[in-house]
Chains A and B, each alone.
Chain A
Amino acid sequence: MRIGIVGAGFMGTTHAEAWAQTPAQIVGVAAETIEEALPLAEKYSVQAFPDFSSLLEAVDVVDLCTPTHLHVPMILEAAAKGKHIICEKPLALSLESAQQAVQACQEAGVTLFVAHVVRYFPEYALAKRLVDEGQIGKVATLRLLRGSYRPKKPIGNWFLDENKSGGILLDLMIHDIDYARWVAGEVESVFARKVSLIHQDSPVDYGLIILKHTSGAISHISGAWAYPPPTFRTQFEINGDSGMIEFDSQLSSPIQSLIMRPNQEAPDVGIPSSPVRESPYTTEIKEFYAALVGEKVSRVTAQDGVEAVRIAAAAVQSAKSGEVVTLLQ
């Protein structure tokens, strides 16, 4: 299986490391310019392609680690060429384009996976398993928090361009939207606000979302691009009618370093990390590989990617209108 990595930033690099641990072969890297693709291509001794279209000709699977606004056009092009696709989250900036992407893949008979990696983080996967085992009974409330600093980028910070990333609700909080839906089921209504819609020039952004699930459960989701670098904090609390589960990345960190590091550099994008044998990104890519070769079913489907976008787009709409957005399935 020949893999092409598209996008050579943090996520492209991370996915390449993961693919290197599967039987699949990375055969090429493409980025916005060939210069950007070169370092990653050299690392794996593969070709740096001048553009996406030329890379497509040489691969069986493309792994899209590009800015969000490029996902759907690239999916459409790859599907038309009969290539399987791994797409970073969020699948798309709007529900309509997400649906269009899935439909194109179905019609072309290619597989599309959306990389909702939180489902592969061991703490989140374990909590989901415990809930499914019935250890805490029926889920009544979920509290999910994901907080870091504003993403920075050496060039062209697309994260901060709402038209490219969808902003904090779509880019960051979609992780927990997907997780809430995975744990508590379909969502019937959404209410949301975010700081940057009220204070356009604010140096920090913060979003809050309340979801009502059809099961009766309520989810509370907090997303922060507000903390000092290199902070990345995740927290969750799943409260059931016969028990509860809580997690705090700060409190469960097995190592607290008090070593002085003057002028500490933070990565462009805050990332969660706890020392585990296998990176959750690798677990994810391995599962996608196993699913592509028909050995396993992936825990996250293209439709999950669509549903996450449906809810996140409703959150954006709610934050803009100030109204509750009801989802009609």
Chain B
Amino acid sequence: MTIKIGIMSFAHLHAEAYIQNLRNAAGVTLIGIADDDEARGKHFGQLFEAPVFRNYEELLEAKPDGVIICSENSRHLPLVKLAAQAGANILCEKPLATTVNDAEEIVRICEQAGVLLMTAFPMRFSTPLLEVKSRLDQGELGKVLCFQSSNQGELPKKHRAWFVDKELAGGGAIMDHTVHLVDIMRWYLGSEVREVYAVANRIFHADEVEVETGGMVWVTFENEVFATIDCSWSRPPYWPAWGGLSFEMVTDRGAVLVDGFRQNLTVFTHHLQRPYWAFWGSDPNQAMIDEFVQAVREQRPPRVTGMDGLRAVEVVEAAYQSVALGKPVQIRH
């Protein structure tokens, strides 16, 4: 049985990767795309040679088994409503929403409609991170005590202007780069965040954007593991890659240093006049899309759920509260 998937909105650049992942996935028919920005929809439809529906309703009338929602962060909720009402299973780009209220509603709507909801946390499918998780579970690494981690990136404005728009993105670096590491740590620890402290500034690109560009988020888990997350847009545009995700996991036996994007070639070209990193590791996006398709096919919960997305949004919201208050904020689940 072939699984029919559609893409709702190309606002998020990850849609450009996902559409190619769908083409590479076994037993998938890409029924097409739809976008509320007509020009954008047309552009990507042509670029990827995909049918373009006139609007989301029309795409949903074609009865996809699943949809991938890649709208602006604050516009996930209305698209989730449409898709869930039409009975489509949903893979939603991260962050699941820009507020806890919206994220809770997204989870509730999908539950009520009986559709699967997956949050796009591709790092759960990163082979180096899976390897560490497996060694941790086998007891090879000891008991985790703390993490220091970093998901620094370049200013994402050059990809899409809305990434730095407070309304559409929901914030700046904290909104953009906190959720992946929160999700990884929750996954590794099987524990929830109970306290968040965060500091932020706007020194990088101060004259270009209104949102915070520098930030450090400090999370403490219910099992007393503590961790820092550097979520800054601190990488310059001439960095060899867009940014990266890495962490040090400290255990009672020492420490493990993990870099999700170290499997690179360093390439020097006359054309670019600077080195860049060409990634040769296994594509985590492909594994994530494969899992979504498989979950839809088997009608079982995906490995990463809407609840995982909601938990990460709780931390982000608490981080903004902490920045405003200048002190740690407790999370009650």
Which A residues have a C-beta under 8 Å from some C-beta of B?
A: 138-141, 143, 145, 147, 189, 191, 193, 195, 198-199, 202-204, 206, 208, 210, 212, 216-218, 220, 222, 224, 226-228, 239-241, 243-244, 322-324
Contact = CB atoms under 8 A, between A and B. Distances in A.
A195 B250 contact: yes
Contacts of A212: 199
B217 to A, nearest CB: 10
A147 B232 CA distance: 23
Interface of B: 145-146, 148, 150, 197, 199-201, 203-206, 213-216, 218, 220, 224, 226, 228, 230, 232, 234-236, 248, 250-255, 326-328
B250 A206 contact: yes
A191 B230 contact: no
Contact of A140 (B150, B203, B328): B203
Contacts of B226: 193, 198, 208
B250 A224 contact: yes
A241 B203 contact: yes
A167 to B, nearest CB: 15
Q: Looking at A147, A241, A324, which has the most chain B CB atoms within 10 Å of its CB?
A: A241
A143 B253 CA distance: 24
A203 B252 contact: yes
Contacts of B145: 195, 198-199, 202, 204, 206
A204 B146 CA distance: 11
Given A140-B234, A204-B145, A206-B145, 4 more contacts: A193-B218, A198-B145, A210-B218, A239-B232
Given A208-B226, A222-B248, A239-B204, A140 B148 contact: no
A143 B244 CA distance: 15
B204 A189 contact: no
Q: Which A-B residue pairs are the 9 nearest by beta carbons?
A: A140-B203, A239-B234, A206-B250, A140-B214, A195-B145, A193-B226, A216-B201, A222-B148, A141-B214
Q: Looking at B232, B235, B250, B328, which has the most chain A CB atoms within 10 Å of its CB?
A: B250
Contact of B146 (A147, A195, A244): A195
Contacts of A241: 203-206
Contacts of B204: 140, 239, 241
Contacts of A220: 148, 216, 228, 230
Given A141-B232, A244-B234, A210 B199 contact: yes
Nearest to A219: B216
Nearest to B225: A198
Contacts of B250: 195, 204, 206, 224, 226
Nearest to A211: B199
Nearest to A189: B326
9 contacts: A138-B203, A143-B150, A193-B218, A195-B146, A204-B254, A220-B230, A224-B250, A239-B234, A240-B203
A145 B247 CA distance: 12
B232 A324 contact: no
Nearest to A238: B234
A47 B251 CA distance: 47
Contacts of B213: 140
Contacts of B228: 208, 210, 220
B104 to A, nearest CB: 28
Nearest to A237: B234
A208 B214 contact: no
Contacts of A145: 148
A324 B218 CA distance: 12
Nearest to B201: A216
Contacts of B197: 191, 210, 324
Contacts of A222: 148, 248
Contacts of A202: 145, 252
A223 B234 CA distance: 22
A208 B254 CA distance: 15
A227 B251 CA distance: 10
A135 to B, nearest CB: 12
A323 B220 CA distance: 13
A324 B214 contact: no
